Structure formats: C-alpha cells, structure tokens
Structure 1
C-alpha cells in the first residue's frame, strides 16, 4: 500500500509499505478515507515535536472498516469509523484512575508519531480505538472529531463557567474549535490571531476578534471584555503562555494547549501565587471524552473549517498551505485523502457509502 513516511530532518516521502494484517483477535482493519493535517504533523516536519524516523505520519483519520478479528463486536465491515489515535494500556495507575491520556506505556503506541499512522491506504488498530460514526455524519464533520476531543478535554479542565470571559490565543483549527466549545458556556469569547488568513476566518465565526500582530493586544482584549481581563485564557499556539499569564485576570486560569518542544519561558512562581493564577496542562483527551466529541461534532459547524483536500501524492501542497517553510497560512483544516474519489452529496466518497 502507499504511505507517507517520515524520514527525519523535515523530510517525508511516499513509499510502498506492507499491507497491515489483522494479528490480534480484537484488531480492526480500516480503509482510510482521509486524514486531517494536525499542527503536530507540521511541528514534526519543522523539528519542533519528536517522532520516530521511518514512521507513517497522520492520526486525525476517518475511514471504513474493511475486516475485523473474531472477537470484535462493536464494529463490522462497511461501518464508517473515526480513529481514536490516543492508545492506552488500561492497566497502569494513570489508566486505572481514568487518566488514559497519561498512560505509562505510551512508547511505541502514539499513532503517527512512533506507531504507523493514517497517511496511508489502510491502518490496523485495536477495536476500542475505532468509534462508529452516527448515521448521517458527514466526512468533513467526522475528520475533526479527534481535534475536537482534544479541545473538549482542555475546556473541561478549565472549568469554564457561564460568568467567564474567555480569551483564545490562536485561531487555527484548534483555536476556533476551542472558541466554539467555550462559547457554549462562557459569557463571552475573545479570539486573538495575527495571521491575516486565519484572522479573517475568526472574524466570520466570532463577534469579538482581536488582531494579535504588532503591539501587545492586552488593552484591546480587555476592551472587548467590557474592561475586564478574561478569567480563562487558552494558549492554542504552544508559544504564548507568557502572554497568557500577563493577560489573565487575578484568580484566573491559563490553559496551555499547543505542542512546541522549542518554546520555553521564564516564569516566577511567586507571580502565580500572588495573583492566584492556575496554570493548567490537560494534555490531549481521556478515553471517555472521545465518544462525547463524536456526539458534539453533529452540533458544531465543523465542515466550514475544512478548506482544502489533497490526494496523498500532493502532500507537499497540503503542508505548503500551513506555513510549512513559508510565512503565513493559506488554509484552515487541510485533509490528505487516501481515497481520492469525489465526495458526494452525503459528504462521503462513492466508495465509502
């Protein structure tokens, strides 16, 4: 089968890989329809997030069940599914207390990082990491379920309440999803973005949007919040925790969401204690959050975030729209299609209906 393989040092190449076999009784073979390009994929290519050379990249995937092991009961061939790429063992102390996203046995299990991912024709996963999609859920909704699960986990960790003003730093797909989810509870959501393309997208989705380029936007954000600093600030960029700490109200919460191994900041613990600020790192998502994301995906305007689709062979074009080695973005959510068939009125390729 065709697969997009990470070679290290920002290099990828389409290669022929062995067709994945069902080796365990609970394995599910999924024919991949498409995979969203995640910010993590981009940062792997830029050297800002570690990945194993030789691995097949990609993890935000949807597809159709091709075959199953004899013990599989929750899905069957021809079912449309979304992949849950956050694998866990279920038996270590974090897993037993429900923190499956911090499983102690992650080495070799992170799909698209150190376990072969979904920029490929097929992928095999244990049954519990494939979630059957509701009837009528469209392809462009389903491909955003995995990032939506990440967002849900972080919004829940922030304990957003109806009286809160929330600031979201960054208006990429994760930032927009964070704003959409937070807006279901918060009093007000203010989105901050500096990239012109994504700033325009944010303005179409939210009432309060601030241009974060140039001067410190704190005063503008405060003005958008009726003169008050936000009680909750989400850094969805991975490089703005310091700005978030300066922006948040006393007694507020800052949530670091983005992944960027090259970013660091000097922080005085006394600043947190004297201002009563909680700095939260929630990670991606627990196992129980993923099916909630599947349900919530039906209620949010997710399809509008998918701005571009490319076949696997045009992966360089896909990455190029996401500021890959160039200044500025040219897309929101980009999808790399393993199945190049045109999408029909029901939102799925003809071969997947």
Structure 2
C-alpha cells in the first residue's frame, strides 16, 4: 500500500509499505477515505520530536471498514467510521473512567500512558496517511457514521481537532455566558472557538497573527486579535473594559513564537494568566513535551518558566492534556448531522496522498490560505 513515511527533519515521502492487516482478533482494517495533516504533525516534521525514521504518519483518520478480526462483534465490514487518534483498550482504569487518552495498556513506551497512530512516543502504531490502517480494539475505538459521503469533511474532524478544541473549552471550566480567549488560530484553536460558541460563550477572542486564520475566526463570530499589531493581553483588556476574560484556551504549545518569530515556550501561558480574570480557568491542549531534540539540551523542554506565581495569586485553575476523543465524538457527530456544528469551515485544501510532501511543506511554512489540509488516499 502507499503511505506517507517520515524520513527526517522536513523530509517525508510517499512510499510502498506492507499492507496494514489484522494482527489480533480484536483488530479491524480501515480503508482510508480522508486523513488530515494536523498542526501537531509539524512538531515531528520539523525534527522537534523523537519520532523514528520510517514511521507512517497520520492520526486524523476516517474511512470504510475493510476487514475485521474474529473477536470484533459490533463493527462490521462496510461500516463508515471515524478513528479517534487515541488507541485505547477500553478496560483499564483510565479508559473505564473516561480517559481513553491515557490508556495504561496500549503504549509500551516507558513513562507514557496513552497511545496514538503515527506519532512520536505514542506507541508502535503506524498512522493513517496511507491507503489502509490497522485499528486495535476496534469495537471500542471506532465510531460508526452514516453511510454515504455526506459530511465527509466535517466528520473527518471528529478524530482529533474538533474533540480537542471542545476539550480545551471543557478544561477551562467555561459556563454559558462566559467570555473566552483562545490563543492560537490554527485548526485546534479555531475548533476551540467554534466549540466555545456551541457551549454557550457570550464572546470569543482568537489570538493569532496570520490574516487567513483571523478571517476564519471572524467568519464564525469570534473577535480576531492580531498580536503582531500589539500586546494581545492589552488589546483584549481594552475591549473588555479592563475585566479580561473568564476562560482561556491554549492551542499553541511549546513552539510558541512572538511577533518577531522568536520562540518562547512560556509565551501563551503567560498571556493567558494575565488576560484571564481572578478565579478564572485555563484549558491547555497545545502540545508540550518532556524532551525536545531541537534544543541544545533536549530535557530543557520539560522546564517551562511561566508565571506560576501570578497564576497562584489570581486563584486560577488549569486543566491539561490530550483529549479523550471518545468522551465527545458521538455528541459532536450528532451536532454535525443536525447542522449545529460545521467544523469543515476551516478546510482550505483537499489533495491526493501523492501530494502530501508538498502539502506538508506549505502548511509548515504557513503559506497564506493553507489553513487545513485533507489528504484523500483514494483519489
């Protein structure tokens, strides 16, 4: 089968690899119809993780079930499915308490709970930027979708970024009527803004400097805040009469940049501490890592010097971590079916798998208009 393979920093290629196959009785094999390039894939693409060369990338996947193992009893061949990026067993303590993103049984990597497709430190699983994908524990992990092709570009967001944006808002503790600031206008940040409105936010600010991202934020009723035009905290405080916001979502992660392009891993955390009111909440779904090969001392990534003293003094709360997709994806699917949610508004490009290397390069370089890329392996 054809698959996108990691070759090294800023180098990926579409190659022939062995077909994905059923390896355990509870496996299924899915033929991919859509697989997205995620902003977090760029950490690997840029050489900022320990992902091994030869890894098939891609954790935002959907398609049609082509084969099931003898232990699969619920999912059927021919089912159209969304594949959560979490690979979970369904029976460990974390899975049974709703934390499928921190499954204790599926990732053999020492010190890591939680597994995923095609991602650094998240287990030995190949990703879905390919023609076929092996799905372990298929009955637990797969979400069935209506047959056909309707809502394809909306449903493809269910594997990761829509639930992740939703989770960021939930982690912040948002209540209906709250004001929310989302730092980062990439796909996850835009999904957080969309989710905040769906959950009842009175006002949402999206902070970024890319004009195309800010336009998308404004297209759904959010207030775009261009941090290249001035301190985003001051801009939001001015708009809110000095009150700030009730809740904040961090959707940037450890590679945060200032307006001049310099990296500051603490930047968005500091901004959120300063713009969220006393006793307000912050949800962090941007990726932070314990090791960063892009640094002279990789372990320094685990020591982010943010304004914890101010955070404590303001009595704020913070929730962090990868989204447990299964906790949300059924409800979000139904919001799409009924027309309440339309996460496909962020899609800018749909390309065949063969064009994935060029798409990665353009997405990584933040070329104007490249906001969300969908790969179509069957094209």
2:125 counterpart (115, 140, 151): 115
Structure-2 separation of matches of 1:182 and 1:331:
24
1:77-156 correspondence to structure 2 within 5 Å: 77-105=77-105, 106-107=107-108, 109-113=115-119, 114-126=124-136, 127=138, 128-135=140-147, 137-146=150-159, 147-156=161-170
Change (3 A) 1:80 1:92: closer
Counterpart secondary structure, 2:348: strand
TM-score, length basis structure 1: 0.88
Residues in 2 aligned to 1:85 and 1:224: alpha-carbon distance in whole angstroms: 37
Of the candidates 211, 217, 231, which is equivalent to residue 202 of structure 1?
A: 217
Say whether the 8 Å CA contact 1:195–1:213 is kept in structure 2. no
Contact 2:14-2:357 at 8 Å conserved across structures: no
Shift of residue 168, structure 1, vs aligned partner: 0.8
Deviations 1:260-310 (A, max 9, x none): 545664235332221111122142225332322322333212222211011
Which position in structure 2 is the counterpart of 1:213?
A: 228
Tell me how far apart the structure 1 counterparts of residues 134 and 194 of structure 2 sit (CA, whole Å).
32
Quote the residue 2:333 is aligned against. Answer: 294
Seen in structure 2, the aligned counterparts of structure 1 residues 296 and 252 have a Cα distance that, compared at 3 Å, is same
**Structure 1 portions without partners, runs of 5+:** 341-353
CA contact 2:84–2:325 (8 Å) conserved in 1: no
Q: Report the Cα distance in structure 2 between the residues aligned to 1:18 and 1:5, rounded to whole angstroms.
A: 12
Q: Distance in 1 between matches of 2:221 and 2:171?
A: 22
Would the alpha carbon gap of residues 130 and 207 (structure 1) be closer, same or farther in structure 2, given more than 3 Å must change?
A: closer
Distance 2:201 2:142 in 1: 32
Contact kept in structure 2, 1:234 and 1:256, CA below 8 Å:
yes
Unaligned residue ranges in structure 2 (runs of 5+): 110-114, 257-267, 293-300
1:36 shift after superposition: 0.9
Question: How do residues 167-182 of structure 1 correspond to structure 2 at under 5 angstroms?
Answer: 167-182=181-196
Mapped partners of 1:82, 1:132: distance in 2? 7
CA shift, 1:27, in A, is 1.7
* Equivalent-residue separation in structure 1 for 2:362 and 2:368 (angstroms): 6
Q: Report the number of matched residues.
A: 338
SS in 1 for 2:87: coil
Moved more, 66-75 or 236-245: 66-75
Once the two structures are TM-superposed, the CA of residue 316 in structure 1 deviates from its matched residue by 2.1
Contact 2:165 2:191 in 1 (8 A): yes
Contact 2:26 2:71 in 1 (8 A): yes
Give RMSD over aligned pairs.
2.1
Is residue 43–residue 260 contact of structure 1 (8 Å, CA) maintained in 2? no
